[in-house]
C-alpha cells in the first residue's frame, strides 16, 4: 500500500515534532531545511539548557490575534503528553519550580533525541535545501527545491519566524504562506530588549535589580511584570522587559508614544517608601544623600536617581526636605523610561505577528484556505511569554500537524 507523502518545510522544533508524529502514523516524511543542520534554534533555548515546557499553562501565557487559539492547540497535545513524548525519546525531565528542563541541562540532548528518532523512523532530511516555489495541484502539492521537485499529499509549513536569523529563521515562510492564500499579520520582534532615550543609561549599565515594570502607550497601561531588571548602556533588558516587549513593538510600529515606568522598590508602597527614606535620613543625618542609600539600593543606580530628583549627592541626609524626599520616592517608585525602539530581530527570541490563526483549524493545524496544507510553530501569530511556552506551542502544533497530515482522508483527525 502506498504511503502518505508528507513534506515538511522547516527543521526546527515544530518541524521535527511534526516529522516524528507523521512518521509514527505511517507516512513517508521529508524535511526540507535550508540550513546545514536541523534544530539550530533549539540549541540556544534556556541559555543552552532548553526550557522545554512549563507545568503552569494558562491562556495568559500566550498572545495572539485570536486569544482562544493557543490553548486550543495546547489542549490537543498538552504538557503531560509532551513529557511522555520526550521520556519515550530518552529525555528525563527536571522540574525547577514548574520550568521543565532535560535532566542533563543540555539543549543539545533534546535536539539529539529528536534527530535520532527522525533517523530511526526513516525520515528523509534535505539540508542546505532552498524552496524555490510551491505549486498546488488539486489537493496535493509540488515543492520545487534547489535539490529537485518533491510531490506531497500533505504539506506542513514549519519555517519559523524572523527572530534570531542566525539560527535559520529568515521569515521566508511568510511569503510561502501568502502565496498559498494566507494573511500575515506584520511580524515584529518580541521577547527583546528596549532602547531608551537619554544618556544616563551608560552610567547604569550592568546593574541588575528587582523591579516592577509597567508599559504605557499614549497613557494607557498595556502590560506589566516584575522580576530581575537589567540595565544596559542603551536601555532596559531582563525577563520582565522581555515579557512586555511585544506590546512596545506593536505600539511603536503604529507610531504611538511608549513609556515604561519602573518601580525600583516594588516591595514598598509609596507611603512606606517615603517613611523609610525619612527614617534613614534622620538616622543617618551625618551621611551624604548618596551614602544614605548604601545597603538599600545599588550604588550606581542610587546616584543616578538622586541626580534625577534634583538633589546634590553630597548634600547631608539630615538636610533633605520632605519635598526632596518625595522627589526621591517619585524616581524610586515611578522612574520613566521613554522607549525609542526595540532591538532588531537578531536580538529577539521570537516574533509577535505571523500567519493569521483565524485561517487555521486549531484542532488539526490544517489551513482553512487550502486542503492538506498544515501550519505549525512560530510561523503562526502566537507568541508566548518566557518560560518554555513557545517551545510547548511548537511541540503541540507540530505533533498535531504531523498526526493529521499523515491521515488526509480524515480517519484519525485530532
Q: Based on the fold, state whether residues 174 and 126 are members of the same structural domain.
A: yes
Looking at 342, 361, 385, the residue that finishes a domain is 342
Res. 414 pLDDT band, cuts 50 70 90: very low
d(CA 108, CA 237): 26
Q: Based on the fold, state whether residues 16 and 33 are members of the same structural domain.
A: yes
Amino acid 175: pLDDT: 97
* Rg, the chain, Cα only: 25
Q: Based on the fold, state whether residues 387 and 238 are members of the same structural domain.
A: no
pLDDT beyond 50 at 284: yes
Q: Based on the fold, state whether residues 19 and 127 are members of the same structural domain.
A: yes
Average pLDDT of 388-412? 88
Residues in a beta bridge with 8 = 31, 156
Residue whose C-alpha is closest to residue 21's, from 68, 75, 69, 76: 76
Q: Based on the fold, state whether residues 242 and 146 are members of the same structural domain.
A: no
Note whether residue 320 is domain-resident: yes
Amino acid 408: pLDDT: 65
| 116 phi and psi angles, rounded to 5 deg | -60, -40
Note whether residue 267 is domain-resident: yes
Residue whose C-alpha is closest to residue 379's, from 141, 242, 175: 175
Average pLDDT score, the chain: 96
Determine the structural domain holding residue 222 and report its residue range: 193-342
pLDDT beyond 60 at 322: yes
- Asked if 57 contacts 385 with a C-beta cutoff of 8 angstroms, the reply is no
Q: Based on the fold, state whether residues 108 and 236 are members of the same structural domain.
A: no
- Residues 135-169: pLDDT tens digits? 999 999 999 999 999 999 999 999 999 999 999 88
Q: Based on the fold, state whether residues 329 and 259 are members of the same structural domain.
A: yes
Note whether residue 413 is domain-resident: no
Average pLDDT of 121-129? 98
- Residues 183-210: pLDDT tens digits? 999 999 999 999 999 999 999 999 999 9
Strand segments (E) across 21-159: 28-32, 53-54, 62-64, 93-96, 99-102, 124-126, 131-137, 140-145, 148-152, 154-157
Amino acid 47: pLDDT: 87
Average pLDDT of 305-334? 97
Give the number of domains in the chain: 2
Average pLDDT of 314-330? 96
- Asked if 144 contacts 133 with a C-beta cutoff of 8 angstroms, the reply is yes
Looking at 300, 315, 342, the residue that finishes a domain is 342
What is the separation, in whole angstroms, between the first and last Cα of the chain? 23
Average pLDDT of 289-314? 97
CATH label of the domain that carries residue 79? 3.50.50.60
Res. 409 pLDDT band, cuts 50 70 90: low
DSSP per-residue codes, 64-90: ESSTTHHHHHHHHS-HHHHHHHHHHHT
- Residues 8-41: pLDDT tens digits? 999 999 999 999 999 999 999 999 999 999 999 9
- Residues 342-378: pLDDT tens digits? 999 999 999 999 999 999 999 999 999 999 999 999 9
Q: Based on the fold, state whether residues 382 and 332 are members of the same structural domain.
A: no
- Asked if 171 contacts 161 with a C-beta cutoff of 8 angstroms, the reply is yes
Average pLDDT of 229-251? 98
Q: What is the pTM of this model?
A: 0.94
Amino acid at each position: 500500500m502506498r504511503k502518505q507523502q508528507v513534506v515538511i518545510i522547516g527543521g526546527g522544533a515544530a518541524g521535527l515534532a511534526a516529522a516524528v508524529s507523521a512518521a509514527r502514523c505511517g507516512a513517508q516524511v521529508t524535511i526540507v531545511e535550508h540550513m546545514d543542520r536541523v534544530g539550530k534554534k533549539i540549541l540556544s533555548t534556556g541559555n543552552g539548557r532548553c526550557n522545554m515546557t512549563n507545568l503552569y499553562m494558562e491562556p495568559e501565557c500566550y498572545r495572539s490575534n485570536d486569544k482562544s487559539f493557543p490553548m486550543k492547540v495546547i489542549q490537543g497535545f498538552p504538557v503531560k503528553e509532551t513529557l511522555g513524548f520526550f521520556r519515550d525519546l530518552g529525555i528525563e525531565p527536571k522540574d525547577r519550580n514548574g520550568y521543565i528542563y532535560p535532566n542533563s541541562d543540555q539543549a543539545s540532548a533534546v535536539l539529539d533525541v529528536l534527530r535520532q528518532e527522525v533517523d530511526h523512523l526513516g525520515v528523509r532530511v534535505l539540508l542546505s535545501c532552498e524552496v524555490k516555489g510551491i505549486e498546488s495541484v488539486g489537493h496535493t502539492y509540488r515543492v520545487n527545491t534547489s535539490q529537485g521537485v518533491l510531490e506531497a499529499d500533505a504539506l506542513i509549513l514549519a519555517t519559523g519566524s524572523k527572530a534570531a536569523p542566525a539560527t535559520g529563521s529568515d521569515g521566508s515562510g511568510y511569503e510561502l504562506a501568502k502565496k498559498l492564500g494566507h494573511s500575515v499579520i506584520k511580524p515584529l520582534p518580541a521577547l527583546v530588549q528596549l532602547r531608551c532615550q537619554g544618556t544616563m543609561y551608560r552610567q547604569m549599565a550592568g546593574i541588575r535589580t528587582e523591579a516592577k515594570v509597567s508599559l504605557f502607550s499614549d497613557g494607557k497601561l498595556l502590560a506589566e511584570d516584575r522580576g530581575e531588571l537589567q540595565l544596559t548602556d542603551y536601555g532596559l533588558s531582563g525577563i520582565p522587559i522581555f515579557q512586555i516587549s511585544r506590546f512596545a513593538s506593536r505600539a511603536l510600529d503604529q507610531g504611538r508614544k511608549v513609556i515604561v515606568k519602573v518601580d525600583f522598590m516594588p516591595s514598598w508602597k509609596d507611603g512606606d517608601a517615603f517613611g523609610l527614606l525619612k527614617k534613614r535620613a534622620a538616622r543617618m543625618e551625618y551621611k551624604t544623600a548618596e551614602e544614605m542609600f548604601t545597603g538599600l539600593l545599588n550604588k550606581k543606580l542610587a546616584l543616578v536617581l538622586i541626580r534625577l530628583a534634583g538633589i546634590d549627592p553630597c548634600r547631608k541626609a539630615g538636610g533633605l526636605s520632605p519635598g526632596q524626599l518625595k522627589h526621591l520616592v517619585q524616581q524610586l517608585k515611578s522612574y520613566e523610561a521613554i522607549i525609542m525602539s526595540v532591538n532588531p530581530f537578531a536580538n529577539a527570541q521570537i516574533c509577535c505577528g505571523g500567519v493569521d490563526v483565524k485561517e487555521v483549524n486549531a484542532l488539526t493545524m490544517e489551513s482553512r484556505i487550502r486542503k492538506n496544507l498544515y501550519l505549525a510553530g512560530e510561523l503562526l501569530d502566537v507568541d508566548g511569554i518566557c518560560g518554555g511556552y513557545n517551545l510547548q506551542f511548537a511541540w503541540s502544533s507540530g505533533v498535531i500537524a504531523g498526526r493529521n497530515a499523515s491521515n488526509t482522508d480524515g480517519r484519525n483527525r485530532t
